[in-house]
Amino acid sequence: MPDDSGRLTQVFEETSFLYGGNATFVEGLHERWAADPASVDASWRAFFESLRERPAAKPAWAESKVEARRDDLTAAFDGLRPAAMEAKVAKAVEGKRPGASADDVRQAARDSVRAFMLIRTYRIRGHLRAQLDPLRLEPPVDRVELDPEHWGFTDADLDREIFLDGVLGLETGTLREVLAIVRRTYCGPLGVQFMHIADLEQKLLATAKDRGQLKSSLDEMKKAMEEMRARQAEERKRLQEFADLTRRFKRLTDAGTLKVNIIDGKMVVSLGSDLLFASGSSRLSKEGIQAVKEVAAQLNAIEGKRYQVEGHTDNVPIATQTFPSNWDLASARALSVMKTMIDGGMEPKRVSAASFGDTSPVQENDTPEGKAANRRVAIVIVPDLSSLPGYEELQKMSQ
């Protein structure tokens, strides 16, 4: 939304003496003039006589229902406003509506000034009607100065076009549109407002603080969005890699030789030990050697990836001279597969081996089928942490 504060200041500069702390002083002068016109200076006497209004029973900001007779400040900006102000707005309106009659220009100028005053009032006092009670535990407080009727509008005026000259970002707009914008901006559950602060230094501090907080919030939001995009890109990359992996091993998967899964967040190619090894042995069978070399050839073609070969057993303990424990058997089988992968063309620096014994089953060991599933060799694609969001911060912390 463009910054129109300068334009509003220009429009209302002739009446700046009526705002802030001067209001009480002006009201007192008005009451003295009403009782005895000769008791005030001639310039004030001329000003009050131009208003042609008796003093209101209550000040303009009092919380009461709109009365038929308006207060002095309101009268200054509706049908009995100073001629200079109306003439300035009328000139702008006439420039936008060539050929319009004098009455139409006068009415349009009055609508514009009333709308400007309504907008300015929301900017100054809109926070008094902010939605700070979401549960509606307290009855709403009436703020008559924020009602269109207070400025001379009626329901019949809601949809009439009003010349706004760029205020609120609108060249023209209806009263209904103006109310929707100012209420959304200044009376919602969240917003920033500082025009009600009378002290200039405090106002400048508030705007500087708000801008600083806004910049900080925008920087944090930008960083969060970048991290979210990086995560989304990494997720898409992983999905594509998994799809590529399943495509590469489709023939072996369809033949039941291996499975491609995501286990603990890692992509895993699992080969059943019963296909690769005889019971209690770590020597690969002829079929096992062929399967491992085929797997190695496909994995070796994926650039930039490293692999860990994991040996797993069921929970049936083994205690032989060659393999004193399940750990030893799983370790020997993992090493056997790793060496065969290297023989099949895998770069040694891209592959390693590990033993998990019977500590990481994929199924319960209470059935023959479960035990068979747990006897396996898993080739895990080692995640590349450098591609994850926040990796640089982790690197700095580790140094």
Taking only the tens place, the pLDDT of each residue in 126-148 is 878 877 776 677 777 777 888 89
pLDDT given for residue 139 in this prediction: 75
Tens of pLDDT, residues 26-36: 777 777 888 88
- For the cut 50, the answer to whether the pLDDT of residue 207 exceeds it is yes
pLDDT given for residue 368 in this prediction: 93
- For the cut 60, the answer to whether the pLDDT of residue 245 exceeds it is yes
CA–CA gap between residue 159 and residue 142 (Å, rounded): 24
Q: Which domains does the chain have, with CATH numbers?
A: 5-196 (no CATH), 249-387 (3.30.1330.60)
What's the CA dihedral at 98, 99, 103, 107 to 10 degrees? -30
Q: Give the helix/strand (H/E) hosting 163.
A: strand 161-163
Of 162-171, 183-192, 222-231, 297-306, which one has max mean pLDDT? Answer: 297-306
Mean pLDDT of 75-93: 55
Query: 378: alpha, beta or left, given left = phi > 0 and alpha = psi -120 to 50?
Result: beta
Reported confidence tier of residue 250, pLDDT bands at 50, 70, 90: confident
Beta strands at 307-312 and 351-357: parallel, antiparallel or unpaired: parallel
Which is more confident, 256 or 335?
A: 335
Phi, then psi, of 368 in degrees rounded to 5: -60, -35
Mean pLDDT of 342-366: 93
Of 220-224, 297-301, 385-389, which one has max mean pLDDT? Answer: 297-301
Reported confidence tier of residue 231, pLDDT bands at 50, 70, 90: confident
CA–CA gap between residue 383 and residue 386 (Å, rounded): 9
Reported confidence tier of residue 79, pLDDT bands at 50, 70, 90: very low
- For the cut 80, the answer to whether the pLDDT of residue 347 exceeds it is yes
Among the listed residues 372, 384, 375, the one whose alpha carbon sits nearest the alpha carbon of residue 307: 384
DSSP state letters, 270-283: EEEHHHHB-TT--S
Tens of pLDDT, residues 50-77: 665 444 454 444 444 444 344 444 444 4
- For the cut 80, the answer to whether the pLDDT of residue 243 exceeds it is yes
Give 170's contacts (C-beta < 8 A, 6+ positions apart).
164, 177, 178
CA–CA gap between residue 121 and residue 147 (Å, rounded): 10
Which is more confident, 354 or 257?
A: 354
* Beta partners for residue 271, in sequence order: 258, 377
pTM: 0.43
